[in-house]
C-alpha cells in the first residue's frame, strides 16, 4: 500500500509539473518581457465602491455577511467548501512541506511556519492549518465572519491560539506584517482588482516564502458547473455567489502573480465525484484549480 501511495503521489506530482511546464512556462517567459500582458484583467467598474485600503467590492462583503452564520453548517451554503477542504489542505500540506523541507508524516508538519489565511471566512481552513502546527493569522473584511471564526476556534485549545482579525490584506501590508506562507482560497474571484490584490499578497510574503491561491477558471465548463449547476440546479450555493466574468483563467493568474513577484511552481485541479461525494486532486484545471508559488528572493 505504501509503495502504491508513493507511486500515485509521485506520478500525480510529475504530471502536474508537466502541465505547468508545458502550458505556462512560455507565458512565464513572456511575462518577463511583456509586463503589460495582464493589462486586460478585470478592473473595477466605475459604479463599484470598495472600502478604503481594500480591493474588495461592497456587494461582495454584503453577500457574505448575509450568510456568515452558516460557516460551520456542513449542509449549508458553504457545503462545497467543507467537502473540498480536505483536498485543498492535502495540496497545501504537500506543497509547503516540500518547499520548507518539512516532514509531511509528522504530527505537526507545519510547525514553526507563520501563515496568514486571507479571506478566512469562518476559519474552516485556518483551524486545520493550526492543528498541523502552523502559527495562523486569519483575516476577513466581514466582521460577522471573524466573530464566528473566533467563537468556533475558541472551543478547542489547539485552535484558540489563532489570531483572527477583521481587516484586509492591504491593511496588513501597511502594518508591515510578513508571513512564511500566504493563503487566499476562493477569494480572488470576489475582489475588484486581482492584480492589486496579488501585489498585496506578495508584499505579505517573506522572500522565498510561499503563496497559495485557489479559484475558478473562466471557462464555459466552469460556467455550467460552478454557476448553473451549483447555484441554480443543485442549489449548493446561493444564487449570485459567483460572477463568471470575475473568474480568471490559469494563464491570467500566472501572469498576474509573475508581475507581483510570485513565481508559480505547481498547479492542480479539483474534480468532484458525484458518486462518492468527494473531491480529488487532478490534472484537470478547467473548473476549480489551485496554484502554489514562491516569492523571488530579490523582490520586496
Q: Left (φ > 0), alpha (ψ -120 to 50) or beta: where does 5 sit?
A: alpha
Known binder of ligand: residue 73?
Answer: no
Q: Whole-angstrom Cα distance, residue 74 to residue 186?
A: 17
Q: 214 near 88, Cβ under 8 Å?
A: yes
Known binder of ligand: residue 190?
Answer: yes
- What angle separates helix 25-33 from helix 250-260, to the nearest 10 degrees? 40
Known binder of ligand: residue 140?
Answer: yes
C-alpha distances out from residue 259 to 40, 117, 123, 198, 236, Å: 13, 22, 29, 9, 35
Q: Whole-angstrom Cα distance, residue 252 to residue 217?
A: 10
Q: Left (φ > 0), alpha (ψ -120 to 50) or beta: where does 76 sit?
A: beta
Known binder of ligand: residue 240?
Answer: no
Known binder of ligand: residue 143?
Answer: no
Cell numbers standing for residue 191: 475582489
Known binder of ligand: residue 7?
Answer: no
Known binder of ligand: residue 186?
Answer: yes
Q: List phi, psi (to 5°) of 266.
A: -150, 145
Q: Which of 223, 214, 147, 210 is nearest to 187 (CA)?
A: 214
Binding residues: 88, 119, 140, 185-186, 189-190
Binding residues for S-adenosyl-L-methionine: 88, 119, 140, 185
Binding residues for Mg(2+): 186, 189-190
Amino acid at each position: 500500500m505504501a509503495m502504491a501511495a508513493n507511486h500515485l503521489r509521485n506520478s500525480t506530482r510529475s504530471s502536474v509539473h508537466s502541465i505547468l511546464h508545458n502550458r505556462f512556462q512560455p507565458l512565464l517567459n513572456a511575462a518577463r518581457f511583456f509586463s503589460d500582458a495582464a493589462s486586460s484583467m478585470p478592473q473595477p467598474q466605475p459604479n463599484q465602491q470598495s472600502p478604503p485600503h481594500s480591493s474588495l467590492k461592497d456587494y461582495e462583503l454584503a453577500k457574505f455577511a448575509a450568510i456568515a452564520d452558516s460557516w460551520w453548517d456542513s449542509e449549508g451554503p458553504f457545503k462545497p467548501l467543507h467537502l473540498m477542504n480536505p483536498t485543498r489542505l492535502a495540496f497545501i500540506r504537500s506543497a509547503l512541506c516540500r518547499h520548507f523541507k518539512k516532514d509531511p508524516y509528522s504530527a505537526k508538519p507545519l510547525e514553526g511556519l507563520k501563515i496568514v489565511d486571507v479571506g478566512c471566512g469562518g476559519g474552516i481552513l485556518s483551524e486545520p492549518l493550526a492543528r498541523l502546527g502552523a502559527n495562523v493569522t486569519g483575516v476577513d473584511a466581514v466582521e460577522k465572519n471573524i466573530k464566528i471564526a473566533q467563537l468556533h476556534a475558541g472551543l478547542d485549545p489547539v485552535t484558540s491560539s489563532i489570531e483572527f482579525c477583521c481587516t484586509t490584506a492591504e491593511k496588513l501590508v501597511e502594518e508591515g506584517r510578513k508571513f512564511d506562507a500566504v493563503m487566499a482560497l476562493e477569494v480572488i474571484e470576489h475582489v475588484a482588482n486581482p492584480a492589486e490584490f496579488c501585489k498585496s499578497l506578495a508584499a505579505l510574503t517573506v522572500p522565498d516564502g510561499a503563496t497559495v491561491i485557489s479559484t475558478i477558471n473562466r471557462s464555459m465548463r466552469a460556467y455550467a458547473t460552478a454557476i448553473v449547476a451549483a447555484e441554480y440546479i443543485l442549489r449548493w450555493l446561493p444564487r449570485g455567489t459567483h460572477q463568471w466574468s470575475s473568474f480568471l483563467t490559469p494563464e491570467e493568474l500566472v501572469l498576474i502573480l509573475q508581475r507581483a513577484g510570485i513565481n508559480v511552481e505547481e498547479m492542480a485541479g479539483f474534480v468532484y465525484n458525484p458518486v462518492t461525494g468527494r473531491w480529488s486532486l487532478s490534472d484537470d484545471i478547467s473548473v476549480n484549480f489551485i496554484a502554489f508559488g514562491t516569492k523571488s528572493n530579490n523582490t520586496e
